[in-house]
Amino acid sequence: MNLVTGATGHIGNVLVRDLLARGERVRAMLMPGEDPSPLYGLDVERIEADVLDFQSLLGAFLGIEVVYHLAGIISIMPGKDNLVQAVNVIGTRNVIQAARLCGVRRFVYTSSIHALSRIPHGTTIDESIPFDPQHAISMYDYSKAQASLEVLEAVQTGLDAVIACPTGVIGPHDYRRSELGQLILDCVQHKPMFYVEGAYDFVDVRDVAQGLILASEKGQTGESYILSGERLSVLGMIKSLQEILGKRLVTMKIPMNLARFSARFTPLYYQLSRKKPRFTPYSLETLESNSVISNAKAVRELGYTARPLNITLADTVRWFRQRYSKQTGSAG
């Protein structure tokens, strides 16, 4: 039996689908009261538990052989966030302890490329770069780095665990509309696109899910594996989406200096409007950072592969069109 924490998230629900397609039995862990709709129609056992409530985890972990730990909070907002720290670090610590007590055979932790130390341009990012909470530029980076070190410390005392570090995840089944998913949906709905110069490495969610399964099967205990895809600029992504949609989008380039100045104030706007953040100091820094990332180790040791991003974008557009066509009329 496999347990997937964070099972309704973007990676989580795709991982559940892939495990079921392989004939595996899956228990999906949800927060108490969480919307289970991303799992509707799937033959999966659902159980409610909270990573911050250790006792609740014991029932979820009973009889589990492999744990895929994805439950966490993603944030590109600046400043201290105690909930991000608690869920991502203390929650991971609790999950590790529950896995130990319940005799879990294999523990697969989904970290993040942002948990690694940020290094300057001209150096390829690979698994030789350490997890680095001390020089993190956001609470999210700090928490994922710290949680990754918690996993490695547990390995030293007997936990059979591996760590996966995805890059920028995009793809179908994005029910909660990630930041990148919202950008793609805006293009599908032909909304004006404001963009800045910059690029990053993006990877298909389905390839990440397969990478996690491969890590479970072939990953070496205590090792980490980068699950990356393809480096693409923001403008390149918009142009690809225009080709897929067959329509020219209204675009406007925002000078980076202006974007940086505006980003000082946008966090408050996003908090008040409850809209998906896009331009924050963190997101702008990420687009300007080194994004030459190697997945050679995962390819070599796991047999990992990543599909071309134009296929990912086309499939994501198709999925959004199908999901939102009834709500928005024709999406183009």
Closest CA to 320 of 215, 178, 220, 202: 178
The interaxial angle of helices 10-21 and 205-218, nearest 10 deg, is 60
Structure tokens at 137: 């530029």
Catalytic residue among 40, 68, 109, 140: 140
Sign of the C-alpha dihedral computed for residues 226, 232, 237 and 240 taken in this order: negative
Distance between CA atoms of 214 and 216, rounded to whole angstroms?
Answer: 5
Please, is 92 exposed, middle or buried when counting C-beta atoms within 10 Å of its C-beta (0-12, 13-18, 19+)? Answer: buried
Closest CA to 136 of 256, 235, 282, 4: 282
Give the CA count within 13 Å in the CB-facing half-sphere of 224: 24
* Residues 199 and 168 sit within 8 Å (Cβ to Cβ): no
Q: Is 140 one of the annotated active-site residues of the chain?
A: yes
DSSP 87: I
* Residues 201 and 236 sit within 8 Å (Cβ to Cβ): no
Residues labelled catalytic: 140
